[in-house]
Amino acid sequence: MPKNPPEMVAAVDLGSNSFHMIVCSLKDGTPQTIDRLREMVRLASGLDEHKTLDEKTQLRALACLERFGQRIKHFPAGSVRIVGTNTLRTATNSKEFLIKAEQALNHPIDIISGIEEARLIYLGVAYSLSSNANLRLVMDIGGGSTEYIIGTGDTPQEKESLHMGCVTVSNIFFKDGRLSKSAFNQATLYAEQKLEPFQRKFHQKNWDEAIGASGSLRSIAKVLKAKNWSNNGITRQGLEKLVAHLNQCNHINELNLPDLDLERLPVFPGGVAIVYATFKSLGIEQMTVADGALREGLILDLLGRIQDEDMRSTTVKSVVERYHTDKKHAARIKHTIHYLLDQLKENWHWALNESCIQFLNWAADLHEIGIDIAHSQYHKHSAYIIENGDLAGFSNQDQRILSTLVRYHRRKLTPVAFVDLPAPWSELSPYLTVILRIAVLLHRNRLEQNLPDFKLCLSRTKVSLEFPEAFLEQSPLTRADLKLEADYLKILGFKLEFI
């Protein structure tokens, strides 16, 4: 993050239906929206049966991102947060698309899990509403997924992301805009089946007010108001009238609904089916629609990072507690990591890069969490938890980077694991791994005594350690460990020398 807070920040949501961008100025640390951009891209419609994003959709999306990029291209690093959601999580060729998308925007793109998406949506909704002690159900319909969250104040408590969205449901049940009562009933049943395992958790008995937070829900609320079917957001009675109207039409072009954006028309029936199924399954009678959503949540999360309140660090602390790690041991390793980085700062400018330091600190904190599952191969268990857990604040790429560092902090190395990481981590991670491995190795005895002063030299192909005279003679286990480490590092292309 920049040392001086940026004057402006931006957030971009690469949704499965629409791409959204919000630009905010920062006055006294408080964001004030100065610009919004939105384009209906319908990314989810470009997925074929093999989950490959077709060329036509990619070109449409990249053209949009070129326009967005013109607005934010010159924003400093760390002042823009861009996330991809369900379709980019799902697409088998998303890696290739992301390379081109990042070039268009000149900023990195994070792919986030459905649960992380739910957390950020709740943040945005809570920020846009007056604070109260009520338990809220927040619902957000995207193009490829729908999120449900229960929370109070600024804190989400229950979060779920279901694989159904206005684009995907419309594509399955209302192909080419064709409507029928049978198709609508099937779409509703499909959504009810998706919700069934979570019906009890999110039932109206467990919250005080329901809030909608997406374009689909805003569109439905606007249509109900324009038709005088509801004057208080979305109501059960109003929905029943809207559903009856849909079921009288044979095609979306016959809907003739006032205040419905023509761009939204092709995905409107799918959205209505999801909302109707939700009202029925969860016993909802009325839902208010909020302005805040994922992009506002992204701005707040970004501000936390800028103001040294990174949600990822909070998550790491909670994981450390959950898996009962040895905090004193982790602290010793972190101290040695910083001792090593200080020696590298002149020749390796990235050694002082805050992201590198963060990931090394997190890796030191989490490298032993797998011991709580089994001591044998614990580094593999630790890596699995990190890569597959719901870690608030972390993107999918963040989790892969951290998981890789932890997986290879000891024993055998696999070079291809680093090559597959996103840039620039594919180049940085081998060096970070070497630093982490040395720090862990030198504290293998877990003694509380300080290490003697020693020197580290690191080049593209060589690692040199110089200890005080007689240290290695008096530490035969450390010498033996370093000999073994020299063999391991050869696989990564490093020659380890020590005296």
Pair (249, 174) in one structural domain: yes
List the chain pLDDT tens, one digit each, 499 residues. 445 789 999 999 999 999 999 999 998 778 999 999 999 999 999 999 999 999 999 999 999 999 999 999 999 999 999 999 999 999 999 999 999 999 999 999 999 999 999 999 999 999 988 767 789 999 999 999 999 999 999 899 999 999 999 999 999 999 999 999 999 999 999 999 999 999 999 999 999 999 999 999 999 999 999 999 998 899 999 999 999 999 999 999 999 998 999 999 999 999 999 999 999 999 999 999 998 899 999 999 999 999 989 999 999 999 999 999 999 999 999 999 999 999 998 888 776 688 999 999 999 999 999 999 999 999 999 999 999 999 999 999 999 999 999 999 999 999 999 999 998 999 999 999 999 999 999 999 999 888 999 999 999 999 999 999 999 999 999 999 999 999 999 999 999 999 9
SS3 447: coil
Per-residue pLDDT tens over the stretch 331-390: 999 999 999 999 998 888 776 688 999 999 999 999 999 999 999 999 999 999 999 999
Q: What is the pLDDT of residue 37?
A: 96
Quick check: is 477 in a domain? Answer: no
Domain final residue, candidates 447, 469, 489: 447
Secondary structure class of 213 (helix, strand, coil): coil
In a domain, 463, yes or no: no
CATH number for the domain spanning 91: value is 3.30.420.40
Do 174 and 275 sit in the same domain of this protein?
yes
> Within this chain, do residues 323 and 439 fall inside the same structural domain, yes or no?
yes
Quote the CA–CA distance of 219 and 174 in Å, as a whole number: 18
Q: Do 393 and 423 sit in the same domain of this protein? A: yes
Note whether residue 481 is domain-resident: no
Domain that holds residue 263: 130-289
Residue 464 lies in a domain: no
- Asked if residue 346 and residue 201 are part of one domain, the reply reads no
Statement to judge: residues 84 and 26 lie in one domain = yes
Q: 88-115 burial string, b = 16+ CB within 10 Å, else e?
A: bbbbeebeebbeebbebbebbbbbbbbb
Q: How many domains in the chain?
A: 3
CATH code where residue 226 lies = 3.30.420.150
Same domain as 135, residue 282:
yes
Pair (285, 327) in one structural domain: no
Within this chain, do residues 321 and 431 fall inside the same structural domain, yes or no? yes
| pLDDT tens sequence across 38-82 | 999 999 999 999 999 999 999 999 999 999 999 999 999 999 999
**Does 271 lie in the same domain as 225?**
yes
Q: Which two tokens stand for residue 114?
A: 């459905």
Q: Are both 321 and 409 inside the same structural domain?
A: yes
Tokens of 431: 């060096």
Burial of 310 (0-12, 13-18, 19+ CB in 10 A): middle
Within a domain: 118: no
pTM for the whole thing?
0.94
Beta strand 462-466 with 495-498: parallel, antiparallel or unpaired?
parallel
pLDDT value at residue 1 = 42
* CATH code, 379: 1.10.3210.10
Domain identity same for 176 and 63: no
Q: Is residue 234 part of a domain?
A: yes
Residue 208 within a domain: yes
Task: Give the model's pLDDT for residue 13.
Answer: 97
